[in-house]
């Protein structure tokens, strides 16, 4: 698979990170690999912590010409001048996010394993649909399988993201049928995140 045909990488931050060390680690990855988008995905709902985290990584992302979106928080995305939002409730708030953030913002929707929810989100104005997890025991144990991505890539024009437990095996299997891989803790939990990401990219070939 050529670089042009290979799915793009949608980088996701860890659920928690140290503001004194993570920005430099992030910059190394952004400078060392081609990244399509970065998602701020913290486990906290504390607006102060989210704001400080966004401020710490926004300039790094934009220096690398990488869009920065945030999980769920439409109001914060608007207030902090981020590039968009990643919604975790399927199609439910897509229209609201689009109205609040405008036509140029990125609005994505995580739809678990539901093609119906994905189509509804696409019709509501989502720029991409995310399905997952693709492996492991995240969530309720249900997985987004190859058939879902294969059907979507053949029938629906809205770009699709595969996420949740992306290993080399999933990267190889799903590369022909997804537009993006959302990769986060899969690389941040290793000693060398850039090397781990490059290993996933190699598996796609």
pLDDT on residue 136:
82
Question: Does residue 2 lie in a domain region?
Answer: no
Number of domains in the chain: 1
Question: Does residue 71 lie in a domain region?
Answer: yes
Calpha distance 36→133 (Å, rounded): 20
Cα dist. 178→10, 45, 132 in Å?
A: 12, 30, 12
| 97: three-class secondary structure by DSSP | helix
Question: Does residue 178 lie in a domain region?
Answer: yes
| Residue 156: both structure tokens together | 């629906």
Phi, psi (degrees; rounded to nearest 5) at 69: -120, 165
Range of the domain at 123: 8-204
Question: Does residue 144 lie in a domain region?
Answer: yes
Question: What is the mean pLDDT of each successive set of 10 residues along the chain, which is 205 residues long?
Answer: 80 97 98 98 96 97 97 96 97 97 98 98 98 81 95 98 96 98 97 98 95
pLDDT on residue 3:
63
Calpha distance 117→205 (Å, rounded): 30
- Rounded to two decimals, what is the model's pTM? 0.96
Whether the CB-CB separation of 19 and 193 falls below 8 Å is answered with no
| 130: three-class secondary structure by DSSP | strand
Q: What is the CATH number of the domain that holds 116?
A: 3.20.20.70
Question: Does residue 138 lie in a domain region?
Answer: yes
Nearest partner of 94 among 168, 158, 169, judged by Cα: 158
């Amino acid at each position: 698979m050529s670089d042009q045909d290979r799915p793009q990488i949608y980088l996701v931050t860890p659920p928690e990170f140290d503001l004194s060390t993570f920005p430099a680690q992030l910059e190394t990855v952004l400078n060392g690999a081609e990244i399509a988008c970065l998602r701020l995905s913290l486990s906290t709902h504390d607006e102060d912590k989210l704001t400080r985290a966004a401020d710490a990584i926004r300039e790094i992302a934009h220096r690398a010409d990488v869009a920065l979106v945030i999980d769920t928080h439409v109001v914060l995305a608007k207030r902090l001048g981020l590039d968009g939002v990643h919604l975790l409730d399927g199609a439910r708030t897509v229209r609201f996010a689009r109205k609040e953030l405008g036509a140029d913002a990125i609005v994505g929707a995580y739809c678990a394993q539901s093609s119906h929810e994905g189509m509804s989100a696409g019709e509501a104005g989502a720029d991409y649909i995310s399905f997952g997890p693709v492996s492991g025991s995240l969530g309720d144990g249900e997985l987004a399988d190859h058939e879902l991505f294969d059907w979507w890539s053949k029938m629906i024009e809205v770009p699709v993201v595969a996420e949740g437990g992306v290993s080399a095996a999933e990267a190889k299997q799903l590369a022909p049928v997804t537009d993006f891989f959302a990769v986060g803790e899969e690389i941040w939990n290793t000693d060398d995140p850039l090397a781990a990401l490059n290993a996933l990219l190699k598996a796609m070939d």
